[in-house]
Structure 1
Amino acid sequence: MIEAEDVVKSFTVRTRTGGLRRRGRTTLRAVDGVSFAVEPGEFVGYLGPNGAGKSTTIKMLTGILTASSGTLRVCGLDPSRRRTSLARRLGVVFGQRTTLWWDLPLRDSLTLVRRLYRVEPAAHRARFAELSELLELDPFLDTPVRQLSLGQRMRGDLAAALLHDPELLVLDEPTIGLDVVSKATVRDFLERINAERGTTILLTTHDLGDIERLCRRVLIIDHGRLAYDGGLDELRRTVDADRVLVAELARPGPPIVLDDPEFGRIEAERVQGPRQWLRLPSAANAATVVAALARRHEVRDIALREAGIEDVLAGLYRGDHAYTCPADLPWEDGPPSGPPERPDHRSMVE
């Protein structure tokens, strides 16, 4: 469904010393040799810190931007040269921008979308009824878009993106700013259309709850380069993220300090009454630490908290890892040993 091979997108950055005097130009690589493939029916998360190149990649996939070099195919088409043909097979939702008509009722907006995509009336009626039921649109179909809540508008945008039954759905921050109920509705809907209709979905988000709930595979881009491609469990094993041991003692006491040749020195980093939190290095054996704790203290209860996806990604972004891109990526000088120095973005002129 998506084939990207050594895709590069560069921008020219102009710097000035003051007034209208031009000092020079610098080339900024927002996307730097990214390669990956997405198969039909996959639900893939595309992650990265701010400025990593996620939105630039999405814009190239949808034909808004043209790649500086490399090969890019979406649904078998070149996005920049076949934008109209691709639009009929692609659905896109940008969480911070609506594709609906602001002053029209939602129903009329969706009718205009049908005419833009030239959807047959019978197919439109069936698809409209299905999306209205799945996204619970009926209560506000006749409400002007400008009067909809953020959650209602987002559901309307999803309906507009899927009204022509696309093969591929590209989502950029679809749950940003949504409340818990609206977010759950959107997640349930995306999970359902992927499982039941086989719609391929590429999801870009900073909400890691979306990733853990929906995605079986994640791509991580950092400094314009692909840093990881694989499953969440494999990602947790890739990055050395610490676990937390929560020990509830029989009575309050000073912070626990464990010093053992098998795991080194571990100190409680937080104390709240009889409960204490100890951070375990990734190499430490939890059973050995618990046994040492039980020998020195009267313990009532113990809980071990594995590193969450937030901790794992924070470690990855900090560089506490080795890059795990596929071995056949076309780096000219071999795979990078770590993130390159990031240029100063403050001088970039849009």
Structure 2
Amino acid sequence: MIHMKNIRKEFKTPVVREGRFSGLRTLFSREYITKEAVRGISFEIDRGEFVGYIGPNGAGKSTTIKMLSGILHPTSGEVSIGGLNPHVDRRKVVKGLGVVFGQRSQLWWDLPVKDSYDILAKMYSVDDIDKRRRLGQLSELLDLQAFWDTPVRKLSLGQRMRSDLAAAMLHDPEILFLDEPTIGLDVNAKRSIREFLARLNQEFGKTILLTTHDMDDIEQLCSRVMVINHGAVTYDGSIPSLRETIGLPTLITVTYRGTFQVPAASDLAQLPISIISAEGSTIKVTANRREINTLEVMKKLGEWGELDDIEMKDPDFEEIIHKVY
């Protein structure tokens, strides 16, 4: 469905001159600084996948989205969407694409929301019957009727994002590219957007590529995650596999019935278990489950005393991502 092979993207900026008439000298300068925003990225996304595309600021996420959607041309490499090149066959490709940039709106600022949809329907050659049908579905899913006649400039951030998502889906594209769709939203607005995206993927079979800094978006929505850093993909796989790869320790809180006996320091040093704290009949330890499985952990802890309760907490996904970066 989506194919990228050895994509590179370079940006050239002129060397800034100093001194008298520096602006004019910079304007006519032939010297440039070359920055490689994307370095040899290759991946494929199949129909119906929901893929998270994450990385720190400046890693190349938005540049990748813009190359996939035909806004930017790669310096080298191959890009295809459904077998078509988005830079050569852009009109054909965009008919099957929906794109949302969280910090930019495709709606007309001074017009009511419904008028923007009328314009977009004409642009995408959506007839009146299909437009009414799709807007009816989208309005129900995103609760648009409450601000249907409101000028876009007066919408809250959450309302504008729901309106932008509806605009991106108006021509019923097979693929949706989302660049920070939940940025700046409150908890309720994020929940609404996530529920909508999950339904698009699970019930309607839409292929979605999502970039975000919100790790809850990734954990709740994506079946696959790609991590990009310094313009290159550093990980591509499932979230459980990423946890396994990083191997951050699991926090285990154990409550004993009565007293317990911690092994001597020399014996404890031989185990992949570390004691964090011990108070009363409760002890907190960490264990790297790449080195010791759950049953072995429980067996070892059971040797220290009679177990009453055990709570295991995996590291937050955000911690894992920071480790990757």
What is the TM-score of this pair, normalised by structure 2?
A: 0.87
How far 1:105 moved relative to its partner? 1.2
How far 1:169 moved relative to its partner? 0.7
Identify the residue that residue 125 of structure 1 maps to in structure 2. Answer: 132
Note if contact 1:135-1:185 (Cα within 8 Å) is conserved in structure 2.
yes
What is the TM-score of this pair, normalised by structure 1?
A: 0.81
Change beyond 3 A, Cα 1:273–1:118: farther
Change beyond 3 A, Cα 1:50–1:250: farther
Q: Name the amino acid aligned to 1:110.
A: Y
Q: Name the amino acid aligned to 2:4.
A: A
Identify the residue that residue 119 of structure 2 maps to in structure 1. Answer: 112
In structure 2, list runs of 5 or more residues that go unmatched.
Answer: none
How far 1:126 moved relative to its partner? 0.8
CA offset digits 1:265-285 (Å, max 9, x no partner): 7231x5788655322234244
Change beyond 3 A, Cα 1:176–1:271: farther
Identify the residue that residue 314 of structure 2 maps to in structure 1. Answer: 306
Task: Specify the SS of the correspondent of 2:236.
Answer: strand
In structure 1, list runs of 5 or more residues that go unmatched.
Answer: 318-350
Change beyond 3 A, Cα 1:278–1:25: farther
Note if contact 2:263-2:304 (Cα within 8 Å) is conserved in structure 1.
no
Identify the residue that residue 216 of structure 2 maps to in structure 1. Answer: 209
How far 1:165 moved relative to its partner? 0.9
CA offset digits 1:30-84 (Å, max 9, x no partner): 1111111112222111111222111110111111111000011123222223333
Q: Which moved more, 1:140-149 or 1:150-159?
A: 140-149
CA offset digits 1:204-224 (Å, max 9, x no partner): 111121112111112221211
Alpha-carbon separation, structure 1, partners of 2:279 and 2:12: 53
Q: Name the amino acid aligned to 1:2.
A: I
Note if contact 1:105-1:143 (Cα within 8 Å) is conserved in structure 2.
yes
Q: Name the amino acid aligned to 2:315.
A: A
How far 1:298 moved relative to its partner? 6.8
1:7 and 2:2 correspond: no
Change beyond 3 A, Cα 1:126–1:256: farther
Alpha-carbon separation, structure 2, partners of 1:79 and 1:256: 63
Q: Name the amino acid aligned to 2:208.
A: I
CA offset digits 1:129-173 (Å, max 9, x no partner): 111111111111011111211111110000100101112110001
Q: Which moved more, 1:56-65 or 1:211-220?
A: 211-220
Backbone CA RMSD of aligned residues: 2.8
Counterpart of 1:200 (choices 172, 196, 207) is: 207
Q: Which moved more, 1:4-13 or 1:73-82?
A: 73-82
Change beyond 3 A, Cα 1:257–1:113: farther
Task: Specify the SS of the correspondent of 1:11.
Answer: strand
